[in-house]
Amino acid sequence: MTESTWQLLLDSLWPLLDGAIRGTIPLALASFAIGLVLALGLALMRLSKRPWLSGIARGYISIVRGTPLLVQLFVIFYGLPSIGVVIDPWPSAVVAFSLNVGGYAAEVIRAAILSVPKGQWEAAYMVGMSHRRALGRIILPQAARVSVPPLSNTFISLVKDTSLASLILVTELFRQAQEIAAFSQEFMLLYLEAALVYWVICLALSSAQGLLEKRLDRYVAH
Amino acid sequence: MSPTDLSPADRAPGTPDAALLTVRGLRKSFGANRVLDSIDLTVDRGRVLALIGPSGSGKTTILRCLNGLELADGGTIDVAGELALDFAQAPPKKQLTALRDRSAMVFQHYNLFPHKTVLENVIEGPVGVQKRPRAEAVAEALALLGRVGLSDKKDSYPFELSGGQQQRVGIVRALALKPQLLLFDEPTSALDPELVGDVLRLIKELALEGWTMVIVTHELEFAREVAHEVAFVDGGVIVERGDPKELLRNPQNERTKQFLHRLLFPF
Ligand SMILES: Nc1ncnc2c1ncn2[C@@H]1O[C@H](COP(=O)(O)OP(=O)(O)OP(=O)(O)O)[C@@H](O)[C@H]1O
Ligand SMILES: [Mg+2]
């Protein structure tokens, strides 16, 4: 590699990291947090005995999982303005990613709730708890442990998927890379560099997942 | 009641025996499967009723109805003449809660909360649900754990305990709720044989201290020694009941005879 290639690599590193710190990471965190709340609601609706409630949730989840994320993003950013709803790039991305995570994580949370033995509900009722209290204090904490690995996968996918937001003009890691690449004509270099930064972020997330699992494992046999 | 006293709160010495639990015509079906077909039971205050019977005869379902975990389809449950539930129509939620408050159940598979310590398991009901002062509930819980020899396990998680220890915690969790009626569903059938004795001894102590109990068990020797009455359940009805010594030695009903024979001579 020539001197100037090295220089470009170093010079572009900061803009890419800046894109990650101010774009990719907050976008992923905000969307994941909102998505999880939505997912919990959807999971509980899915488990409801009222057919219309579980039907709504089932329909929503089916649509989210059955359509491409990129299409969902474009509907919100480029589609909604034609019916008079104009949302800025950043909030559009957050809305699209949250709705998407909500659909995927709902199934994870539902499965985790169902994986808690029925005897736990019965013991909770036996000590006098209401349904809501049993859910909050006995069932969800145990479901949380089970759902850490699959939800971590969802989060890691989300971090990578945020690169799609570059297509609706959000300034994040990949868009920074695209802009520098177009300017310098060093496409290979910049896209590999972007890939490397994504990879490092995902490695960090995987080890964070390991720590979290270990912490939540303190009450199960090894 | 001093914290170390295990005896039931409402049993002052000299209280005349009066029915604590009266069940009439209790019915329960799961779909087309009629599991309970008119169950009648009476348990006097301070008395122990043992339920025996073959697998699938409805013993667990009886206990679950008594604890309000299962909603009976018909019949009545009366507790201490103070709480009367009629299942002809679904009783109001308040009554079901009241029924649950008066009884506490010990499960075959313990069902301790695995993410909570032993102490947290015991005070979850008293503090979290009954809203009793935490310090008081903790003191009582520790005294109860001391009584069953598990003081040093208060900060352990259930997976760190043997089955026998877990079941003793299950019993302490039930006692800490200060129920009027204790329900045991085969409390020792999931235990290794050498751990059964500790748990049965504890239940016998509770019986001697005047707790009112309904126990589903296959331990005939235990039923003979501890129970005041034995009822044989088969096909969702109580086929025969009576004094344990009498019934177990000299059953009148053909089905009871067969069941006892099978228990005594399994092969
Ligand atoms: N929730 C349920 N849904 C459907 N059927 C049930 C349910 N609970 C129990 N049953 C059925 O009711 C019948 C009685 O069950 P129950 O558990 O009361 O028997 P049991 O006398 O406790 O048996 P065991 O000695 O094996 O514990 C069985 O045929 C069982 O399959
Ligand atoms: Mg049973």
Supply the ipTM of this predicted assembly: 0.92
Q: What is the DSSP secondary-structure string of B223-235?
A: HHHH-SEEEEEET
Per the structure, how many domains does chain A have? 1
Q: How many structural domains does chain B have?
A: 1
Contact call for B109 and A141, based on CB within 8 A: no
Count of CB atoms situated within 10 Å of the CB of A81:
11
Rounded to the nearest angstrom, the distance between the alpha carbon of B196 and the centre of ligand 2 is 18
pLDDT score, position B16: 54
For residue A129, the chain B residues in CB contact (below 8 A) are 125, 128-129
Residue A222 maps to a domain: no
B-chain CB neighbours of A221 within 8 Å are 159
- Range of weakest confidence among A73-82, A109-118, B5-14, B257-266: B5-14
* Residue A79 covered by a domain: yes
Contact B216, B185 (CB under 8 A): yes
Tell whether A126 is within 8 A of chain B (Cβ).
yes
Chain A, chain B: beta-carbon pairs less than 8 Å apart: 62
Contacts of A143 in chain B (CB under 8 A): none
Residue of A nearest to B65 (CA): A126
Collect contacts of A12-18 with beta carbons under 8 A, ≥24 apart. Answer: A12/A176, A12/A177, A12/A180, A12/A184, A12/A190, A12/A193, A13/A193, A15/A176, A15/A180, A16/A173, A16/A176, A16/A177, A16/A180, A16/A193, A16/A194, A16/A197, A17/A197, A18/A176
Residue B5 confidence (pLDDT) = 54
Of B115, B125, B158, the CB nearest to A128: B125
pLDDT band at B17 (very low <50, low <70, confident <90, very high): low
Q: Note whether A66 contacts B: Cβ–Cβ < 8 A.
A: no
pLDDT of residue A217: 80
Query: Would you say B168 and B148 are in contact if contact means Cβ atoms under 8 Å apart?
Result: yes
| A94 HSE (CA, 13 A, CB side) | 13
Q: Where are the alpha helices (DSSP H) in A83-139?
A: 89-115, 118-126, 131-134
Q: Is residue A106 part of a domain?
A: yes
User: Burial level of B86, CB count in 10 A (0-12/13-18/19+)?
Assistant: middle
For A52-98, what is each residue's pLDDT tens digit? 999 999 999 999 999 999 999 999 999 999 999 999 999 999 999 99
In a domain, B35, yes or no: yes
| Whether A126 and B159 lie within 8 Å, measured CB to CB | no
CATH number of the structural domain spanning residue B135: 3.40.50.300
> Which residues in A lie closer than 8 A to residue B101 (C-beta atoms)?
128
Residue B194 clears pLDDT 60, i.e. is over it: yes
pLDDT in tens, B53-100: 999 999 999 999 999 999 999 999 999 989 999 999 999 999 999 999
Contact A119 B109 (CB under 8 A): yes
Instruction: Quote the minimal CA–CA distance from A142 to chain B in Å.
Output: 7
**At B3, is the pLDDT very low, low, confident or very high (cuts 50, 70, 90)?**
very low
Q: Is the CB of B57 under 6 A from ligand 1?
A: yes
| Structural domain boundaries enclosing B92 | 19-264
What is the C-alpha to C-alpha distance for residues A77 and B220, in angstroms, rounded to an integer?
A: 73
Residue A128 to residue B177, Cβ atoms within 8 A: yes
Asked if the structure places residue B13 within a domain, the reply is no
The residue type at A198: Y
State whether the beta carbon of B58 lies less than 6 angstroms from ligand 1. yes
On whether residue B11 sits in a domain, the answer given is no
State residue B9's pLDDT score.
59
Chain B interface includes A136 (CB < 8 A): no
Range of the domain at A168: 3-217
Residue numbers in chain A where pLDDT is lower than 50: none
User: What's the CATH number where A95 sits?
Assistant: 1.10.3720.10
Residue B175 reports pLDDT greater than 80 = yes
Q: A128 and chain B: CB distance < 8 Å anywhere?
A: yes
Cβ(B189) to ligand 1 under 6 A?
no
Measured between CA atoms, the residue of chain B closest to residue A144 is B115
Task: Look at strands B181-185 and B103-106 and give their pairing.
Answer: parallel
Token digits for A152? 């971590």
Nearest CB to B111; choose among A119, A220, A221? A119
3-state secondary structure of A181: helix
Interchain proximity A119–B113, CB inside 8 Å? no
pLDDT number for residue A3? 81
Q: Is B109 touching A (CB cutoff 8 A)? A: yes
**Atom 16 (ligand 1): residue with closest C-alpha?**
B58
Q: Assess if residue A198 is contained within a domain.
A: yes
Model confidence band, residue B126 (pLDDT cutoffs 50, 70, 90):
very high
Specify the pLDDT at position B1. 41
Q: Name B42's bridge partners.
A: B22
Mean pLDDT of chain A: 94
Ligand closest to the CA atom of residue B236: 1
